[in-house]
Amino acid sequence: SVAAEPLSPTPFPEFFRNPISLDPAEALNFQAAEDGAGAIQSNGLIWLTDGSVNPMPGEIFTIRGTGTTTVGTFVWANCPIILDENLPAGTYAVVGMRAESTTCLAARLVFVGGTWRPGVIGYDAVSDLEDPIFRFGQLGNWGEFRHDQAPTADFLCTAADAAQTIFLDLIRLS
């Protein structure tokens, strides 16, 4: 049977280095299959870019953050994130992320004044293996923030959930 959560590691085709070009007027359809009986919900994630994505080099460090927002079933919910440490004054680029919660499918970042919502496949256990493409600068600069305006995170979960953890990979820009 198909699991209710992402596999570990999660297999997926990635086209970040050689994206498929889309016409703005073209429909974007998602096809899914399931093998369960009764009412089943299929979920899919799609990453859109405005061109090829290249790694961002720099002095990368990781900071942990947590949230306590009650997230509903199969709906995106915005979660304020409290970082475990105060960042020194300056501007930071997010260059990777890992997201965890008890029933997490996916998470995406919301930057103050931003339009893009870069995100990741979510995990429900520390032991789940992530795809390295989402960490340590492999997908370039996801967005920037000042030390006192950290992004929030939208979480998508398979059931009610009230404890979120993210690990942000950062590069200090100034």
Residue count of the chain, please give it. Answer: 174
DSSP 80-137: --EESSPPPSSEEEEEEEEEEETTEEEEEEE-TT-----EEE-BSSTTSPPPGGGSTT
Residue 4 binned pLDDT confidence (cut-offs 50, 70, 90):
low
Quote the number of domains for the chain.
1
For tokens 């915005």, what's the residue? 78
Q: Residues 6 or more apart from 57 whose CB is under 8 A from it?
A: 137
pLDDT for 81-95, tens place per residue?
999 999 999 999 999
pLDDT for 58-107, tens place per residue?
999 999 999 999 999 999 999 999 999 999 999 999 999 999 999 999 99
Structure tokens at 18: 């050689």
For 95, the domain range is 1-174
Residue 2 binned pLDDT confidence (cut-offs 50, 70, 90):
very low
pLDDT for 156-168, tens place per residue?
999 999 999 999 9
User: Considering the chain, what percentage of its residues have pLDDT values greater than 70?
Assistant: 97
**pLDDT at residue 140 tops 80:** yes
For tokens 């997201």, what's the residue? 99
Residue 143 binned pLDDT confidence (cut-offs 50, 70, 90):
very high
Q: What is the mean pLDDT of residues 32-46?
A: 80
For tokens 């404890």, what's the residue? 163
pLDDT for res 3 = 54
- CA dist 147 and 149 (Å) reads 6
Residue 58: left (phi > 0), alpha (psi -120 to 50), or beta?
left
CB-based contact 105:71 (threshold 8 Å): no
Looking at every residue in the chain, the average pLDDT score rounds to: 92
Model-level pTM?
0.92
For tokens 């999660």, what's the residue? 10
Residue 124 binned pLDDT confidence (cut-offs 50, 70, 90):
very high
Answer with the residue of higher pLDDT: 89 or 31: 89
- CA dist 112 and 110 (Å) reads 7
- CA dist 97 and 42 (Å) reads 24
